[in-house]
Structure 1
Amino acid sequence: MEDPSPVLRKLERNNKRLRFLLKKYKQNNHLQHALILLSERASTVAELTLLYPAIHDILVKYLPSRSFYVVLQNQYTQTLELSYFVDEKDGIAVPLHEDSHFSDGVTGYVFRTGETVYLTKESMLEQTKKGEFKALGSQAEHWVGVPIYRDSNIIGVMVSQSYQAKQSYSEQQIELLEVMSLYLATAIERVKKRELLESEVKIRTRALMQSNEALNKEIEHRKRALDRQQILFKISELATQFSDIDDVYKQVHDIIRSITFADNLYIALYDKHAGWLSFPYSVDEVTQYKPRPFAKGYSELVIRTEQSQLIDTVRAKTLIAEGTVQRSKEYNKIQLATSWMGAPLKTANGVIGLIACQAYDHKYEFDYDDVELISFVSNQIASVLQTHLANQALKSSHQELEHRVAEKTKALQQTNLHLQMQIEERKKIEQQLYHDAHHDPLTSLPNRSLFLTQLEKTLHKFQRHPDHHFAVLFIDLDKFKSINDELGHQAGDQFLIWVSKTFADCIRDHDLLARLAGDEFVILLDHLSDKQQAEDVAKRIIRVMQQPFCMKGICVQSGASIGITYSNKRYNNIDEIIRDADAAMYYAKNAGRGRYEFYHPLLTASSGANKHIEHHHLSALPTHFRRTEVISMADKINSISLIDAFGEHPILGSTNFDILKKFAAEKTEQLEIELQLLKQVIHIGNTQSQDLLFACSLVVLDNQAFNPLCQLLKSAKHQMCLLFDEAALRHASSQQLENLKTLCDMGEHVGLNDFAKDRCDLAMLTQHDFKYLLLSSTFSKRVLQQRCYDLQLQGILAVTKLKQTQVIAKGPAILNFRGLLESHGIELFFGKQHSVDLLQEASVSKVVSQSSSGPIVLI
Structure 2
Amino acid sequence: MIDKDVNDLKLTDNVELLQRRVMRLRRLAAKYKRAEIIQNALLGISNIATKAASLDDFYIGVHQHLQRLIPADNFFIASQNPKTGMMSLPFFADEKDPHPTELYPDEEISAILKRGITGYVFRTGQPLLCDDAGFDQLIAQGEIQGLGSPCHQWLGVPIKNQDMVSGVLVVQSYNEKINYGELELELMGFISHHISGVMERLLHNEQLELAIEERTRELSQAYNSLKSEVKERVKAENLQKSLFEIADLSASNVAQHDFYNRIHQIISQLLPAQNCFISFIDNNNTLSFPFYVSQVASEYPASRPMQDGLTEYILQHKQPRLLSSEDIKTLIKHGDIYAQSPALNKTELMHQWIGIPLIINGKVVGALTIYSLDKKQNYQIKDLELLTFVSQHISNAIERKHAVDSLKRSHELLEEKVTARTQALAQMNINLQEEVNQRRKIEAQLVHDAQHDGLTGLPNRNYLMERLSQALKHVRRHGLDQFALLFIDLDRFKVINDTFGHLEGDRFLIETAKRLKSCIRENDTLARMGGDEFVILLDTIHGTQDAVEVSERILHQISQPYLLANQDFVSGASIGIAFSNTSQLETSESILRDADKAMYKAKSNGKGCYIIFDSKLSYQSEQQYDLDQQLKLAISQQQIKIDYHPIYDIDQKKILAIEPKTHWHHDKHGKWEHTKLLQLANNSQLELDFDDYIFKQLNQDYSKLKQEFGEEIQLYMSISSQHVKHKYALRNLKKTVKNSGIDLSKLTIFFNEKSLVKDTENHLNAFDIIKQLGANIGVDHFGTGYSSLSSLSFLPISTLMLDNEISKHLLNENQLKLVKAYSLSANALDLKIVATGIDTLQQRQQFLALGYRIGQGRALRQAH
Same fold, TM exceeding 0.5?
no
Which structure would you say has the larger Rg? 2
Instruction: Please indicate the TM-score interval, normalised by the length of the shorter structure.
Output: 0.3 to 0.5
TM-score normalised by the chain length of structure 1: 0.43
TM-score normalised by the chain length of structure 2: 0.43
